[in-house]
Structures are given as structure tokens and as C-alpha cells.
Structure 1
Amino acid sequence: MFRLAVPQAARAVRSSRNYATLREIENRLKSIKNIEKITNTMKIVASTRLSKAQRAMASSRVFNETDKEFLKNTEPEATEAQEAATPAEKTLLIVVSSDKGLCGSIHSQLTKTTKKRVAELNGEVDIVTIGDKVKSQILRVFADKVKLAFNGVGKEEPNFTEVALIADEIAKLGHYNNVEIIYNKFITGVSFEPSKFSVYAGEAIANSPGINKYELENEEITSDVSQFLLANNLLSAMAEGYASEVSARRNAMDNASKNAGDMINNYSILYNRTRQAVITNELVDIITGASSLE
């Protein structure tokens, strides 16, 4: 009796382990299926928003092309601060991002570009961040240089009213001869690249050779034109960045759904094999028990 009890106990322990493993695989399979549903839903939502984002981007590019035509006609000259930072003059870097994640490396690439630009300017910069994601990354290395931060952006496509309010707050920081906007430029549905706009100061516009083509003799008027150019460039940067982010999120969720599908197939195979092993072990136990009674 003692010799028979040991194999029976071992089989009971082995059977309980198989059931525990089977239950674990089943729970993991359910969780992966739920994740796949979420990523598929987020992919569909991003695909729907992408068309609206591209329309907003196309509209902003119209304003940007008008700005380029104005600057081409006036031909403002770059000041010394625009060519290289000096101890007396600081460059204002406006980094445009958003508050949302789950969109690949779109925020980290902006941070890398900002770090590179700060190094090129010998650290003589002040930074304004638009979006919590890039703010949290920049604060880790340039906490003393961040002068202003905006959040609550990136939920919808940007509009000029929102951008004008941001530009007004930036203007309160004071005068900068050189203002650069760093953003993600939308290339295609699967690619983007960090780029920048340079915004001319009011003095550069007032002293430009072609300013006589326009009736802009008052310094206050040229200053207003500079602020309007800043708002237009911000609108283009935010619209380009929003389209890039939505496209990157759609691609990220598509890849996540495909990976979840592969994991579901692998775990389904593992579940079936484990289930067959459990059934086989139970049949062996039944047959062994029946044989011992004969």
C-alpha cells in the first residue's frame, strides 16, 4: 500500500500543476485578446482622425506659403543672433509636441533635435514647450532653461484662436532676436522628421530691403507683423505635428495589433498542446487504475 501511495501522490501533484499551467495560459490568452481589441479600436480612431488632421495641415500650409511669399518679397536679413548665439543674445526655442503618448518615438526625436540645437547654440537658449510629453523629457536635462510650458494640446486639430493665445503668452517673455520653432514635419503616412521654422524679429522686417513694397513704416506695425508670423508658423508647426502624431499612433497601434495576433496564435497552440497533455495524463491515470484492479 505504501508503494502505491507514492505514485498516486506524484500523479496528483503533476495533474494539479498541469491544470494550473492551463489556467495561466487561458488567462494570458484572454488578456492578449482584450489588448488586441483595444489596439484595433485605437487604430480605427486614429485612422478616422488622420483625414481631419491632414485637412487642417493643408489649410495651415496655405498660411505658411503666404508667409514665405511675404518674406521672399521683403528679403529680411538675418541678424547676428540668428546666425549664432552670443552671450548677450539668447535664442528662444519653441518645441511643439502634445500631451498624448502611444505614438512611437515621435516625442523622443523632438527631444534629441532640441538637445542638438542647444549644443549648437552653446546653451544660450530659453525654451518654451508645447505639450506635456516633450516637457517631461526636456526638464530632465534643461530644467533651468524652460521658461514657459503649455499643456492641454493635441486632443484635436489646432485652430488659430488657440495658437494666437499661445503666441500672446510667448510674447510676454520679452524680446528675442532669434525665435526657432522645432516640430515634427509630416512627410507621408508612415514617416515624419523633426524640422524647424525661424521667425524674424520686428527689427529685421523693418530694415528689410523689400519692405517698401508694403505700407509698413510704423515700428508697431512691423512688430505686429512679426507676432502674426509667429502665430502662423506656430499654427503650421502644431498642425504638422498633430498629423504626424496621429499617423504615428495609427502605425503603432497597427503594429501592436499584429504582434498581439501573433501572440494569440502562439498561445492558442500552446494552450491546445497543454490541454491535450492534461487529457492524455488523465487517460493514463484512468487506464493505469483500471489495470491495477484487474
Structure 2
Amino acid sequence: MSRSKAPANTYATLREIESRLKSIKNIEKITNTMKIVASTKLSRAQRAMFDSRAYGETSDEIFKKAETQPASEGNKLIIVSSSDKGLCGGIHSQISKAVRARLALEPEADLVILGDKAKIQLARTYASNIVLSFNQVGKEIPTFAEAQTVADQIFKLGKKYDSIEIFYNKFKSGISFEPTSVPAFTEESLKSSPNFSAYDIEEDVAEDLTEFALANAIYWALAEGHACEQSARRSAMDNASKNAGDMIGRYSILYNRTRQAVITNELVDIITGASSLQ
């Protein structure tokens, strides 16, 4: 009785292994394809990132020469640059961790979040701080028009902020990034700069300059974050493909061993049956 049940169980196990092996091979094809797509998008994202740095660094040069400093008191705003997409490692959780660390020091600060991933994570503990959120921003290559739209919506909130800080992932290399923050100076901070008198700037121009500088900083953060996201996704898909390859190797060995055991059991049954007839 036991000998008749063993082959059925073995065959079922063999079919399960074959099905699992086929599934893993399909997953490997998908992750390899996603890696290739991410690599292609990364090169485009890096070009956009270098362009945005030219905008951001040129804008920052004015504030550096004016020795502008952010206000230490008053209403504070934190802008978080993230995205809506996953499958890119811990890139979103790291930026959320950095923001939570800052909110522990500034619990009354308002939050403007770009991207659903960071919003979901930060809303668990700081939902009341979120005053504005965006999705589908920087879905492809970020543009200055998108950054300008975000900046306009922030000014339309009608609340006067004394200091603004932007958190984003800074691109360091093809395999590494770092959560970073940069200040976005307000009109009052610019006017109170020690070297502001060196610039012949009218009142309305100073306001326009700070608004333009905020849009520049947001564009810079979006472009840097997008490049980091594509880089992280390429690394994640590369690791997933390697893991799938390792699993395919292990399951192939298991499949061959199980198949050999099935064949051996069938030969034993045939030989035993033939011997009993003699």
C-alpha cells in the first residue's frame, strides 16, 4: 500500500518543482527587462540632473555672495521630494527617515510632499503636518514647469513661511545616493542678508527672485531624486535577477534529483515485478 502512494506523491512534487522553476524563470525575464529599461532611463535622468544643477547652483551663488541665512524662528516649511513608484530599494524610506528626524526637532513644521511613497510613510505619524501633497510629479523626466507649478501652489496657501527646507536624495554615483536638505530662502531672509546692499535690487524684483529661486531648488531636487530613483531601481532589478538566477540553479538541481529518483523508483518496481513472475 505504501509503495503505491509514493510514486503519486513524487510525481506531484516533481510537477510542483517544474511549475515553480517556470515561474522563477519568468520573473527573471521581467527583472532583466526592468533593469534594461531603468538603465536607459538613468542616462536620460542624469542628463536632466546635470542641467538642473546648473539652474540650482547659479541661483545659490546669489545667496552665497549675499551671505543669506535662513531664519531661526517663525513658521517653517519642509518640502519632501519623492515619487509615486516603488521597486527601487529603500530610496523612499531613507528620505522619510531623514524628514522624521528633522520633524522630531521641528514638530510644528508644515509638510509639502511630492510623491505618494513618502506621503504614505510620513502620514502614519505626521498626518496633521501635511498641508499640501502632489502625485504624478516627475513621473518621467522632471521639468521646470512642474517645479514652477509646485512653487505656485505653495505660495497660494496664503501662509507666510520664515524658512523653507527641501529634502531630496542627492545623486552621488551610479550605486549610491544620500538624503540631503537644502534651504530655500524667503524674501525677508534675502533682504536681511549682510551683503544685500551690494545688489541693486528693487522690492518687487526681490520677491520675484525668491519665488524663482524656490522653483529652481524644487526642480533641482526633483531631477536629483529622479536620477537616484532610476539608479536604485536598476540596482534592485539587478539584485533581483541575480537572486532569481541562484534560485533557478537550486531548483534545477532539485528537479533533476527528484526526476532521477522517480526514474529509479520506476525501474525498481519494474525489476521487482519481473522477478516475481519468474
TM class by shorter chain equals: over 0.9
The one-letter amino acid paired with 1:93 is I
Instruction: Give the Cα separation in 1 of the matches to 2:137 and 2:224.
Output: 13
Among 152, 165, 170, which residue is 2:154 paired with?
170
What's the CA shift for 1:249? 0.3
CA offset digits 1:174-205 (Å, max 9, x no partner): 21011000000000100001001101110111
Residues 99 and 154 in structure 1, CA contact (< 8 A), matched pair in contact too: no
The one-letter amino acid paired with 1:137 is Q
Among 63, 79, 103, which residue is 2:71 paired with?
79
Residues 178 and 198 in structure 1, CA contact (< 8 A), matched pair in contact too: yes
The one-letter amino acid paired with 2:120 is S
Secondary structure of the 2:128 match is coil
Answering whether residue 134 of structure 2 is matched by residue 150 of structure 1, we say yes
Among 39, 60, 75, which residue is 2:31 paired with?
39
Among 44, 59, 73, which residue is 2:51 paired with?
59
Q: 2:18 matched to which residue of 1?
A: 26
Residues 100 and 154 in structure 1, CA contact (< 8 A), matched pair in contact too: no
The one-letter amino acid paired with 2:109 is V
Instruction: Give the Cα separation in 2 of the matches to 1:77 and 1:109.
Output: 27
Instruction: Give the Cα separation in 1 of the matches to 2:69 and 2:171.
Output: 28
What's the CA shift for 1:64? 1.3
Instruction: Give the Cα separation in 1 of the matches to 2:70 and 2:42.
Output: 36
Instruction: Give the Cα separation in 1 of the matches to 2:65 and 2:138.
Output: 34
Q: 1:118 matched to which residue of 2?
A: 103
Consecutive unaligned residues of structure 1, counting only runs of 5 or more, are 1-8, 82-88
Larger Rg over CA atoms: 1
What's the CA shift for 1:217? 2.1
Instruction: Give the Cα separation in 1 of the matches to 2:34 and 2:141.
Output: 17
Matches of residues 249-288 of structure 1 in structure 2 within 5 Å?
249-288=233-272
The one-letter amino acid paired with 2:146 is E
CA offset digits 1:219-265 (Å, max 9, x no partner): x3212111111100001100000000100000000000000000000
Instruction: Give the Cα separation in 2 of the matches to 1:154 and 1:258.
Output: 29
Q: 2:40 matched to which residue of 1?
A: 48
Instruction: Give the Cα separation in 1 of the matches to 2:72 and 2:40.
Output: 46
The one-letter amino acid paired with 1:107 is H
Q: 1:97 matched to which residue of 2?
A: 82
TM-score, structure 1 length as denominator? Answer: 0.92
The one-letter amino acid paired with 2:75 is K
Instruction: Give the Cα separation in 2 of the matches to 1:77 and 1:53.
Output: 31
Matches of residues 126-145 of structure 1 in structure 2 within 5 Å?
126-145=110-129
The one-letter amino acid paired with 1:31 is S
Residues 263, 234 of structure 1: alpha-carbon distance in 2 compared, 3 angstrom cutoff: same
Instruction: Give the Cα separation in 2 of the matches to 1:253 and 1:231.
Output: 33
Q: 1:106 matched to which residue of 2?
A: 91
Matched pairs, number? 277
What's the CA shift for 1:93? 0.6
CA offset digits 1:106-142 (Å, max 9, x no partner): 0000111011000122x02110110000000000110
Instruction: Give the Cα separation in 1 of the matches to 2:233 and 2:239.
Output: 10
Consecutive unaligned residues of structure 2, counting only runs of 5 or more, are none
Query: 4+ residue runs of structure 1 moved beyond 4 angstroms?
Result: none
The one-letter amino acid paired with 2:210 is S
Residues 138 and 146 in structure 2, CA contact (< 8 A), matched pair in contact too: no
Among 228, 238, 243, which residue is 2:222 paired with?
238
Secondary structure of the 2:88 match is coil
Residues 61 and 236 in structure 1, CA contact (< 8 A), matched pair in contact too: yes
Q: 1:85 matched to which residue of 2?
A: none
Instruction: Give the Cα separation in 1 of the matches to 2:71 and 2:163.
Output: 8
TM-score, structure 2 length as denominator? Answer: 0.97
Residues 155, 80 of structure 1: alpha-carbon distance in 2 compared, 3 angstrom cutoff: closer
Secondary structure of the 2:195 match is helix
CA offset digits 1:59-114 (Å, max 9, x no partner): 00101111121112222243232xxxxxxx23101110000000000000011101
